[in-house]
Structure formats: C-alpha cells, structure tokens
Amino acid sequence: MLDLSSFKKQNYTPYETPLERAHKLELFLGKKSPKIYIKRDDMLGLTGGGNKTRKLEFLMADAIEKKATAIITCGAIQSNHCRLTLAAAIRENCECHLVLEERIPNTFDQEASGNNFLFQLLGATSTTLAKKGENTQAIMKKMADELKKQGKTPYIIPGGGSNEIGSLGYVNCFYEIKNQIKTLAINPSTIICTSGSSGTHAGLVTGIKITKTPIKCLGISVMRSKIEQTELVRSLASKTARLLQANTNINDEDVLIDDNYIGNGYSMPTPEMIEAVTILAQTEGILLDPVYTGKALAGMIDLIRKNSISSDETIIFIHTGGSPALYAYQKDFHQTLKQNYNKTP
C-alpha cells in the first residue's frame, strides 16, 4: 500500500469506524441474503458524522497549510457536506461561507429542520442561496475575491469535498477496510457505496487499484446517468492516483455504476428509499439518510431480491452518514411507518 503519511491530515476521528455484521437485516431478507457487513462511517467525528469528515481531514489540513482564515463551500439545501465543513471550520477557528443550491425550484425553507437548522445553530458566517442552474463555482470565486479585499485568506472546498485531496480520505478508508477484512477473516466480493459528487467512490476505486485487491466497488448513482457518473468517478480516481504517484491506470471498466435507483431526481424521495431506510432502522437500529444512503441501500436490497447478488457472497455496504437530513423528510415517511419491518417475512 502507498503510504499516505506524506500528506498532512487533521485528526477528526481518533479511531477506526466499525465494520459490523448486519445479522438482522440478513434474517429479514431471508434465504437470498448474502453476508452483509456495514462500514459505519456514520460514526466518524465532527457534528453528526459522515463520509465528508474523512475528506475534510485532508482538505482542512491543506487549508491550514495555506493559512486560510475563511472556508467557502457549496452544496444542496440539506447538504451534509456543508454541515460538516462548517463544523470543521469552527474547529479550526475559520469563518465558513456556504453557498446552498436550490436544485429543485421552490424547495428552500429558511425555517426547515435537518441540516438547514444545523447551519443556523452552528453559526455559519454567511449562507447564499443559488437558484437551479446558477454557477456555484462562479459564486464562490466572487465571494473569495471579496474576502481577499477584506484582508482575509479564503479557501474554496468543492461540493462534496470531491477533489483529489478530499478523495485521499477514501483511499485511507479502503486501507482501513482491508485491515478489518484481514482481522475478521472474511472475503468480500463487492463494496457498495453511494455515488454522488464522486469523491467517496473515486477514493475507494483508487485504493482497490493501488492495492490490487480482487474486490468490486459498485456505486449506486443518486443524481447522474451511468455514462456521466462513470466518467466523473474515473476522472477523479485517475487524478487521485496521480497525486499519490501511483503506477496504475484507472479505466471505465474499473468503475461500476448502477443508475436505476435515482427516481425522479436528486434528493427526490422514492418508495424504495423509504422502505430501505425503515427496514434498516427497524432491523439494525441504524439510521440512513434519504438522499444518499437510503437510495444506495434500496439498490442493494433490490439487487439481492433479483439474485444479482448471490446468497453465497459477502458484501460491504458503506454507510456514509447523513441522518440529520431525515428530519426534513418526516412527512414522506408517515405512511410507511405504519408497517413494522422488525419481523422476519
């Protein structure tokens, strides 16, 4: 494995996140179920945990090295990334300016709960609403220019923390998983993760390629077509490998994407997502989020039910966190909550 110690890193989680067997979920899924392990990255540090913490450990270290005094980032109106970037900025005594993109017209509510409430509670220095189609990169660049005029040192973190520096967090995560696999003496065939801004998926793919580990990484797309998402992940994984000076090529066939579980669009609830979130809550006592992990688990469950994942396999589901967003979706769950999944079928 390539050593990551040459890259500066903040330590927001002083422990490995567990790799837990989901016995009751397997029991619920019945004879078709493979052995399922959940990588509990919802237990990462900072406010509420989640995958962005791993990325921010490297991104904030880079910001600190560049003597940043103000962090600028963007995300959707219930962005887990914005929540965790804000928490990291507080930890490092930096201002934090958020650009929130209203990807679905007329859905922003200043009084909404979930992450929107947490932006206010944590005290974001500023929040700017960008309408669908507005160039968030241009907005952040203009904001950075204004802050420079005020004598501040801005540092822009891309949406999702998804650049090659941020993706190092999930190269590191794969190293952690590889050690846990050895300790548990298991032989997983597939890692399943959400594929959105691409940093998590790209980092895992890079780690797999660098270590030449015979394991697949399937990303469940939550916003883009298979063709678009494959190129996004492949490109970022290639940049991450170059940053690591790894002697490896990452091709389209190294990037597995399933785009069948997006529904009507990014962040739009689907019945399958609602069912999946409810099933995991009532079988394992684990909360998913409605935008990313809920749709990823819905995809995993459907693939198991269709025998696309066989019962003799062992798989790992990456829980990337995000449960604070659940509270903004309560009305979507009311009907499903009348169903009790805490029983075998």
- Which residues does the annotation mark as catalytic? 79
**Single-letter residue type at 284:** E
The token duo for 60 is 């904030």
Q: How far apart are CA 62 and CA 65, in angstroms?
A: 5
Which residue from 216, 201, 209, 215 is spatially nearest to 242, judged by alpha carbons? 209
**Alpha-carbon distance 67 to 267, whole Å?**
35
Separation CA 16–CA 13 (nearest Å): 8
**What tokens appear for 271 in the block?**
């019945």
Angle at 59 between CA 256 and CA 292, to 5 degrees: 40
Residue 79 burial class via C-beta count within 10 angstroms: exposed 0-12, middle 13-18, buried 19 and up: buried
Residue 7 dihedral angles phi and psi, to the nearest 5°:
-100, 130
Backbone phi, psi, residue 85, to 5°: -65, -40
- H/E element, 217: strand 216-221
User: 321-338 burial by CB neighbour count: b if 16+ within 10 A, else e?
Assistant: bbbbbbbbbeebbeeeee
Cα–Cα distance for residue pair 185/14, rounded to 1 Å: 24
Would you call 331 helix, strand, or coil by DSSP?
helix
What count of other Cβ atoms lies within 10 Å of the Cβ of residue 31? Answer: 6
Task: Quote the CA–CA distance of 262 and 265 in Å, as a whole number.
Answer: 6
